Amino acid sequence: MRILAIETSCDETAIALVRASGGLKSPKFKVLKNVVASQIETHRPWGGVVPNLAKREHLKNLPLIFNQILKTINYKLKPDLLAVTIGPGLKPCLWSGIGFTKEIYRKLKIENPKLKIIGVNHLEGHLYSFLLTNKLTKLKAKNLFPAVALIVSGGHTILLLMESLIKWKKLGETRDDAVGESFDKVARMLNLPFPGGPEIEELAKSGNSGAINFPRPMINRKNYDFSFSGLKTSVLYYLREHSTTKREDVAASFEQAAVETLVTKTMRAAKECKVKSVMLSGGVAANKLLRKELETQSSLLKTNFFAPSMAFNTDNAAMIATAAYISYLRKKNRKISAQSNLNL
């Protein structure tokens, strides 16, 4: 089936057309079109995402991207399923995507009365984004589970134990700031522009990650919860007390502390739960140090490691299509209305 997915939960307006097959036993995806209109430049002067500006940009971008995609698809590529993110996210942004999807659903249904529409959980989109990697085609779904999945974004830090593609248990999550949020906040302290994650990563390249011993919050606690607010505050105090410090050393040492915390807890869970795979997703999964560390540790443990290719870490609609396919197969009929606090 072909799925046209729409994602507007935060500051990226994204539409993708994805071909899905294989069912729940071995789902396969081919991304036919994947367009993301980034609003970074709009929000940069404000140092973060401004919900009403984001909504305005979504309303402007959605018809432009949709028409761009329509022009390139011929009749044979018409979608069988429309998918839209219903949460979690910023309410005005979610509504702009939902309103637009319902509008095109009414129009496309005239030609194709069998067309269906489905609401998607954004976090399931990140979780299933590993299904967009080529590496997976060599492996069968039954050899993947149990698995631990680490979802790290601007709003969430969640560790899951997946028994199967559709059955999971939350092992832990952040008690305060999400890890992406802490990258963004530390970047602001270092006068780096928004979003902070890629900026910190870039600056850290020329710094010494052992220069400052920032705390690794809750690293020795037995549970799988995280806390990143204390780490951010330590950076703030350090900068106040050391005005002549090298910014690149601060960036590298902060990145090291954040990554080490995530990797230690994830790999402890992987060992204790005797998993076959480790999966990483969300915007922070773009971080090369995090990817490299998890990959190395997974190979030492002889477990598979999956992280989406670069285009599918930060918010995109292809990942929404993967979650839509799985929800559709499970006959999940969510109400299509904005749910800003939706969780896994």
- Chain positions contacting Zn ion, by CB under 5 A: 153, 315
Burial of 89: CB neighbours in 10 Å, binned 0-12, 13-18, 19+: buried
C-alpha 277: how far from its chain's center?
18
Considering CB distances under 5 to 8 angstroms, the limit depending on partner class, which of Zn ion, ligand KG4, none binds residue 96? Answer: none
Minimum distance of ligand KG4 from residue 309's CB (angstroms): 14
Q: CB nearer to ligand KG4: give 119 or 154.
A: 154
Q: Least distance (Å) from Zn ion to the CB of residue 313?
A: 9
Nearer to Zn ion, 126 or 265 (CB): 126
For tokens 């994805």, the residue is 18
Chain-centre distance for alpha carbon 23: 23
Q: How far apart are CA 92 and CA 269, in angstroms?
A: 37
The contact mask relative to ligand KG4 for 192-231 (x = CB under 6 A, - = no) is ---xxxx--x------------------------------
Which of 61, 261, 314, 327 contacts ligand KG4 by CB under 6 A?
Answer: 314
Smallest distance, ligand KG4 to C-beta of residue 156, A: 7
- Asked whether the beta carbons of 81 and 118 are under 8 A apart, the reply is yes
Alpha carbon of 199 to those of 128, 131, 245, 284: distances in Å? 26, 28, 18, 12
Least distance CB 36 / Zn ion (angstroms): 12
282 is a contact residue toward ligand KG4 (CB under 6 A): yes
Which one-letter DSSP state was computed for residue 151?
E
116 backbone dihedrals φ, ψ, rounded to 5°: -120, 165
- Min dist CB 288 to ligand KG4, Å, is 7
CA distance 117 to 165: 22
Given candidates 8, 13, 34, 153, which one binds ligand KG4 under the rule CB under 6 A?
153
Of 234 and 303, CB closest to ligand KG4: 234
Interface residue with ligand KG4, options 262, 284, 307, 319 (CB under 6 A) = 284
Q: Does 79 bind ligand KG4 (CB under 6 A)?
A: no
Q: Closest approach of Cβ 125 to Zn ion, in Å? A: 7
Q: Tell me which amino acid residue 213 is.
A: N
Size of the site for ligand KG4 (CB under 6 A): 20
8 A C-beta contact, residue 219 and residue 172: no
Please identify which residue in 34, 85, 209, 287 interacts with ligand KG4, judged by CB under 6 A.
287
What is the identity of the amino acid at 11?
Answer: D
Closer by beta carbon to Zn ion, 127 or else 251: 127
- Binding site partner of 88, from Zn ion, ligand KG4, none, Cβ cut-off 5-8 A by kind: none
Instruction: Say whether residue 92 binds ligand KG4 (CB under 6 A).
Output: no
Element spanning 34, H or E: strand 28-38
Q: Would you give the DSSP letter of residue 274?
A: T
Cα 182 from chain centroid (whole Å): 15
Rg (CA), the chain: 20
Helix (H) or strand (E) segment spanning residue 230: helix 229-241
Which stretch, 26-34, 38-46, 189-197, 219-227, contacts ligand KG4 (CB under 6 A)? 189-197
> What residue ranges bind ligand KG4 (CB under 6 A)?
10, 153-155, 180-181, 183-184, 195-198, 201, 282-284, 286-287, 314-315
